[in-house]
Amino acid sequence: MVKASYNQKPYRRSIMQTFGAAITPSPSMSTRAGKDILTVNPNDQGSLGCAISEAIELAVSTPNCKYTLGSVLNHVCLHQTIIGLEAEKQMALAGEYPDIVIACFGGGSNFSGIAYPFMRHNIQEGKKTRFIAAEPASCPKLTRGKFEYDFGDEAGLTPLLPMYTIGHTFKPATIHAGGLRYHGAGVIMSQLMKDGFMEAVDFDQTETFKAGVLFARSEGIIPAPESCHAIAATIQEALKCKETGEAKTILFNLSGHGFVDMAAYDQYFSGEMTNYRPTDEELAKYIASADALNK
């Protein structure tokens, strides 16, 4: 488990332990990849790329061990389209079709799950639905990244993938939306982004929690920090419609509840939550690690 999430989300640990899981914060001293990262920075709070490196290393070095990736790769994104296929049928029952489809974006499986089934109609039938990926300003691979080959993990154990990336060595800030702290985007989504079939926006952490609180007070559902990004983007688009007087149907994916993330809401309500946007110079340094792989 990514160390930042391990520390920020104690109830998530408790749930996993209830069902018999043994949990190790990443980076750890259990793998060579983890040891190398901790040697450079003993206080490293980890990332999804780091945890993937450790998981792959353990899988290939442990007999009868299998590793199943839960995001980014094409087969996972296609599997997730059950979400969008169901949404398509639900909207048909309501006599509606989306003008805009929105989802939060980390590696891309959540976004692809809701977007792909509707996007096929843009490609095949000329529909004009907009698709908006909402990502954290602290980890802006789509809004400020570069499209090129890069590793899917920090230690470079995966094959090289053509993706929008801010560099596989990027160290994301310890925001509460742990599922969005990933340096790259899935291959198919990166190509769709490059070809103009989708767009992206980024949000500061406090803005997303403001949106999440508004949603909870309106709908009675406390959203996960990741989902708050999609809500923030939805509110932004709805306010644009209010200004222009346009009527649009907006579909967004509420990807999870926030009941194990209440410590994050406590920090927001106390005014202790902070925002972080990497500078252009910082991003250039990390993107250079991907640039070097493409020469």
120 contacts: CB under 8 Å, gap ≥ 6: none
For the record, the structure tokens of 169 come out as: 């060595």
| 74-294: CATH class | alpha beta
For the record, the structure tokens of 53 come out as: 């490196």
Mean pLDDT for the stretch of residues 249-266: 95
CA dist 165 and 1 (Å) reads 22
CA distances from 108 to 15, 101, 196, 258, 290 (A): 25, 14, 16, 20, 19
pLDDT tens digits for range 202-236: 999 999 999 999 999 999 999 999 999 999 999 99
Residues of the chain with CATH 3.40.50.1100: 74-294
pLDDT tens digits for range 70-123: 788 899 999 999 999 999 999 999 999 999 999 999 999 999 999 999 999 999
